[in-house]
Chain A
Amino acid sequence: MTRDDLVRFRAGFASCELVLLADISAGTVLMSDSAIRLGQEHLDALCRTAARLFDPAATLPARLAVLSGPTGCRVFLRAAGDSAEALCCLFAPGADLTAIDTAGLDLIRSEDTGT
């Protein structure tokens, strides 16, 4: 996966303000694309949230998590239960998230397979 893949992915969703790929086991943001330039601390905060939501020791392991509220939706996906990488996206309030599951999985699985 390249940064251009993230740019194209974000362009495919109206109201998607940010997308980033993170290595949640290392706590590292690998690459990102956003509508406005965000400070590293904001990207790191998303990475930490992803790590907490996809904790390997979680009693309720999830493949998709969405924190939805008055400022919009923070969407977190990972390709498999034991994957170290997660996709994090920020959407404006009320944004259509219908295709995010499938499109996000396609993107992050392309990273896993190197395509």
Chain B
Amino acid sequence: MTTAQELAALLARAAAVGVDRQGDQQGLSEDALGLALRAIRNTILPRCLTIQADTGAMIKAEVSGGTLLTVIEVQGAESSGLTGHPLRATDPAEVSAVAKVLEELFGDAVEASVRAEPPNVEPDPTQSGIAADALMDLLGLAPFAAAVPDPLDHFQEAAADVLIAVHKADGGETPLRDSFRTPPALHDAIVRTASDPDGPLGEIGPGEILFLAPCDSADLAIGLTNDDGHWLAMVFDADSLPELSAYWSGITHGIVRLLS
């Protein structure tokens, strides 16, 4: 059984892995641009992203909830007027300028890498930023709804930093972190709750996830889905509950095909 000390160490390791994620990808120039935009789109928790192309072009920006908040530094494209201040989706000229910079940075690139680090400052909740979806639309790239056939799979991938285990009605527990097992009492409570026809699962509407912060667990939270009686429960770091719930509603809002 996982002790509280083991869990704390596990979460600390998971957080360290999350903020130092780096991926090198190779492909066509449109792939490099798509990679950059997908990296922005898939960033749920506040992060400072550095996206670097093999051409030497680079952008460093604060990103949260799939939204570009502030451009910190640009190398390889003219970006005067865009760095160092909160970006606004309500300013079409600014949105176009950011899209143009990204196209200039990654339009000729073959390879690109992404590094995620903790943000320098916590994001201002009143700051709207520019959504990756808006930039993709402007650049003529495939919209999220067309490019991602399974939103829940995408969500779990995007939340990999903080996702600890997945429980299914017909598949038991799938731990996603070494040596972690959901405490038996919590596991039992999850199964009984999800299996109760009169329980909270009945409140989950089409395309919805029910996020719960249990009274008896300060470190863990649960995300429940219900696909016609086939439930799935995600166990994740409790601190990320607000960001995950906001991100899910944001991505499902733009999708016509919903979970049913």
Chain A positions within 8 Å of B, measured between CB atoms, are 14, 49, 52-53, 55, 58-73, 81, 91, 93-101
B-side contacts of A96, CB under 8 Å: 65, 125, 242, 246
Ordered nearest first, which 6 A-B pairs have the shortest CB separation? A94-B250, A69-B208, A93-B253, A64-B213, A97-B242, A68-B245
Residue among B196, B211, B255 with the most chain A CB within 10 A?
B211
**What is the minimal beta-carbon distance from A100 to any residue of chain B, in angstroms?**
6
**What is the minimal beta-carbon distance from B128 to any residue of chain A, in angstroms?**
9
22 A/B residue pairs, CB under 8 Å, sorted by A: A55-B200, A58-B199, A59-B188, A60-B193, A60-B214, A63-B213, A65-B200, A67-B210, A67-B211, A68-B208, A68-B209, A68-B245, A69-B207, A70-B255, A71-B249, A72-B249, A81-B215, A94-B249, A95-B246, A97-B246, A98-B125, A100-B242
CA distance A62 to B258 in the complex (A): 27
B157 within 8 A of A: no
**What is the minimal beta-carbon distance from B137 to any residue of chain A, in angstroms?**
16
**What is the minimal beta-carbon distance from A67 to any residue of chain B, in angstroms?**
5
A-side contacts of B205, CB under 8 Å: 67, 69
Instruction: Count A-B contacts at CB 8 Å.
Output: 121
**What is the minimal beta-carbon distance from A76 to any residue of chain B, in angstroms?**
10
Contact indicator B189/A94 (Cβ below 8 Å): no
Binary A-proximity of B104-138 (CB < 8 A = 1, otherwise 0): 00000000000000000000011000000000000
Contact indicator B206/A69 (Cβ below 8 Å): yes
Further contacts, 11 of them, CB under 8 A, given A59-B196, A66-B241, A101-B242: A53-B210, A64-B213, A65-B200, A65-B210, A65-B212, A67-B203, A69-B248, A70-B252, A94-B249, A97-B245, A100-B242
A-side contacts of B20, CB under 8 Å: none
CA distance A13 to B31 in the complex (A): 37
B-side contacts of A66, CB under 8 Å: 210-211, 241, 245
Q: Interface size of B by Cβ–Cβ distance < 8 Å?
A: 40
Residue among B188, B208, B216, B242 with the most chain A CB within 10 A?
B242
CA distance A53 to B199 in the complex (A): 8
**What is the minimal beta-carbon distance from A61 to any residue of chain B, in angstroms?**
4
Contact of A73 among B200, B215, B249 (CB under 8 A): B249
**What is the minimal beta-carbon distance from A72 to any residue of chain B, in angstroms?**
6
Give the contacts of B55-81 with A (CB-CB under 8 A): 65
CA distance A55 to B189 in the complex (A): 14
Give the contacts of B205-257 with A (CB-CB under 8 A): 205-216, 222, 241-243, 245-250, 252-253, 255
Nearest to A13 among chain B residues (CB) is B125
Residue among B189, B200, B222 with the most chain A CB within 10 A?
B200
Contact of A62 among B202, B214, B249 (CB under 8 A): B214
CA distance A70 to B256 in the complex (A): 9
B204 within 8 A of A: yes
**What is the minimal beta-carbon distance from B135 to any residue of chain A, in angstroms?**
15
